[in-house]
Structure 1
Amino acid sequence: MIAVSAQAAWPEDRPIEVYVGFAAGGGTDLLARAMAPFLQKHLGGKARIVVVNKPGASGEIAYLSLSRATPDGYTIGIISTPSFLTIPIQRKPKYDPAAIVPLARVIDDPTMFVVAGDSKLASMADLVKQLKGNPEGLSMGSNGIGTNGHMAALALQQATGAKGQPHPLCRNVADQDQPPGPSHRRHGDEHHRIHRSRPRVEGREGARATWH
C-alpha cells in the first residue's frame, strides 16, 4: 500500500497573492495589508494572504501582471482607481483593462481643494474668481500628473473656463503613492493644492479646505 497524504483545497493549499502597484508604505499598500487579516478570517481555515508590491509606471506593472495571472483565485489586486483610469488616456497600456474584473469598492478617497491657512481664498467662488482674474498668479499643486488631483484641476478649468498652472508637488508620486509635500509661497504668488485626503484636513493647523 502507498500512503497518500490529503491535499488541501482552495484557499488553504497555497497563499493568495494580492498585487499592489506601488511601493511598500504607500496608501494602497497600507490598505492591502490592513485588509489581509480580515480576508483571511472571512475565507476561514488556513487561508493566507500575501501582499506583493510591484511598483512602477503608475501601477501599470502590477496591472500587467494581474491581467496575465491565471484566473484560479490565487491572484487578486488592489487597484488605484485614478491611475487605472488615466493610464489608457495617457498612453496605450501594455495590459488589457477588460481583463481585470472589479470585485468590490473598499474605500472612498475624496479629493478636495485646500489653501494655506492665511489665504484670502475662502470658497470655491473665490478660487474661480482668482483663476479668471489672474491665472498666472495662482499655481495649482497636485499629487502628480495623471492623478485624481491633476484631473480635478483640469475639470475645474474646463468647467469654469479658468486657467491655472498645475505643478506636481512630489517627484514620482504616482509610483510612490505618497501624499503631496507641503504647499508653499513663491514670489508672492498665491499657492494652493488639490489634496487627496480625508475630510479631516479641514482641521489641520495651517490649512483649510475650500471645497470637497
Structure 2
Amino acid sequence: MNTESPLSLRRRALWPLLSTLGALTALAPLAQAEGYPDKPVTLVVGYPAGGSTDLMARTIGPELSRRLGTPVVIENLGGAGGAIGAQKVASAAADGYTLLVGANNEIAIKRLVAPASVKYELRDFTPLGLIASQPMVLVASPRTGVKTVADFMKQVKANPGKFTYGSSGVGTALHLAGEMIKDQGGLFMTHIPYRGVAPLTTDLLGSNVDYGVFVLSSGLPLIKSGKLLALGTTERKRSQATPDVPAVAETPALKNIDISSWFALLGPARLPEPVAARLKKALAETLQAPEVRKKLEETGSTVANPQLDLARFMAEESAKYKRIVEFARIEE
C-alpha cells in the first residue's frame, strides 16, 4: 500500500522536470558561447581619446576585429582615473561583448588609494591577457640644469623640500614611480598632481615645476625635440625606443627601481570558458601580427608574452603598489 502523501507524490513527479531545467540552465552559457561572437564587441577605455590606454585599444582593435570576425568598437568612458570604465565592465553581462582595455592605474592601483569609492576588486574581472608594458621616464625642466640621475639626486639631497616633481594625478602609476624613487633614494621633494599630461607639460616647459614623470610614449616627443631632458626610464632595463636614455636602476642607489605602466584586456568575472578561450586566442594572435607589434614598439612599449599568467602578474603588481602606497601614505 502506498502511504506517500499527495504533496510527496507531486514533488516526485516534478523532480525530473526540475532536473531537466537545471541542466538546461547550466548549458545555456555554453550554447551562447558556441555562436560567439555574433554581434560587435565593445572595448571600454576609462579615459578620453588620445591617451596611452586609448592608443593601446585603437592599436589592437582592427586586428582583434579581424581575428574575431566581428566589429570591435572603442568606447571612451573617462572619469575617476579610469575607474568608471572599469566599473562598467565589472558590472557588465558575462557574455564577452563588453571588455576593458585597462591600465594598472584603474585595475590595480585605484582601489588601494581610494577604497571607499572603488567598488570592484581583481576578482571581479576575467583576465584575458596582458597587451604591453611601457616604462615611465623621469624628466627635468630646463631650469634645474641637471643632466643625469646622479645630478638629480645630488641636487635634491642638498636641498631637501625645495624641489618639486609632477605627475598626471594622485595615485597614478606615474605618482607611484616618483614615490618609489624618493623612497629608495632617501629624497625629500614635493609631489604636484596635475589633471593629465597637458598641464604638467606646460608647467615643466615654463619651469613652474622642476621634475616630472611621464609614460614614455607621452614624453617621447618632448624628449626628441630637446624641450625636456630625459634622466632615466623606470624599468630595470633600457627601453629599445630610447637606447641612449639610461634606466634609473643603473644608478647604484636606485638599483631596485623597476616599475612600468601596463595595459591588459579583461572581461567581467565568470565569462564562459569557451568565450574566454576564444578571446585569449584572438588577443595572442593580434599581438603577433607584425603591423601591431611595430606600432606598439614605436611607442616604447614591450609587447607582452602570450604565455604570461595575467592573474598572477596582477596580484604581484598589486602587492608592489601596496608597499609604495603605504610608504607614501597616498590616498584620495
Q: Distance in 1 between matches of 2:199 and 2:60?
A: 21
The equivalent position to 2:160 in structure 1, one of 122, 127, 135, is 135
Higher helix share: 2
Q: How far did residue 40 of structure 1 move?
A: 1.0
Query: Letter of the aligned partner of 1:10 in structure 2?
Result: Y
Structure 2 counterpart of 1:144: 169
Identity %: 27
Pairs aligned (count): 194
Structure 2 counterpart of 1:181: 201
Q: Map 1:1-212 onto structure 2 (within 5 A).
A: 9-11=35-37, 13-44=38-69, 47-92=70-115, 93-117=118-142, 119-168=144-193, 170-171=194-195, 173=196, 180-182=200-202, 183=204, 184-186=206-208, 191-198=210-217, 200=220, 202-212=223-233
Secondary structure at the residue paired with 1:127?
Answer: helix
Q: Distance in 2 between matches of 1:118 and 1:147?
A: 26
Q: 1:42 to 1:72 in 2, by over 3 A?
A: same
Query: Letter of the aligned partner of 1:206 in structure 2?
Result: K
TM-score (norm 2): 0.54
Q: Highest CA radius of gyration, 1 or 2?
A: 2
Q: 1:96 to 1:148 in 2, by over 3 A?
A: closer
Q: Distance in 2 between matches of 1:99 and 1:165?
A: 35
Query: Letter of the aligned partner of 2:225 in structure 1?
Result: R
The Cα offsets for residues 110-144 of structure 1, whole Å up to 9 and x where unpaired, read as 10111135642122121112221102321111121
Secondary structure at the residue paired with 1:194?
Answer: strand
Q: Distance in 2 between matches of 1:180 and 1:106?
A: 27
Q: 1:43 to 1:178 in 2, by over 3 A?
A: farther
Q: Distance in 2 between matches of 1:29 and 1:135?
A: 38
Q: Distance in 1 between matches of 2:121 and 2:232?
A: 35
Secondary structure at the residue paired with 1:17?
Answer: strand
Over the aligned positions, Cα root-mean-square deviation in angstroms equals 2.3
TM-score (norm 1): 0.81
**Any gaps of 5 or more consecutive residues in structure 1?**
1-7
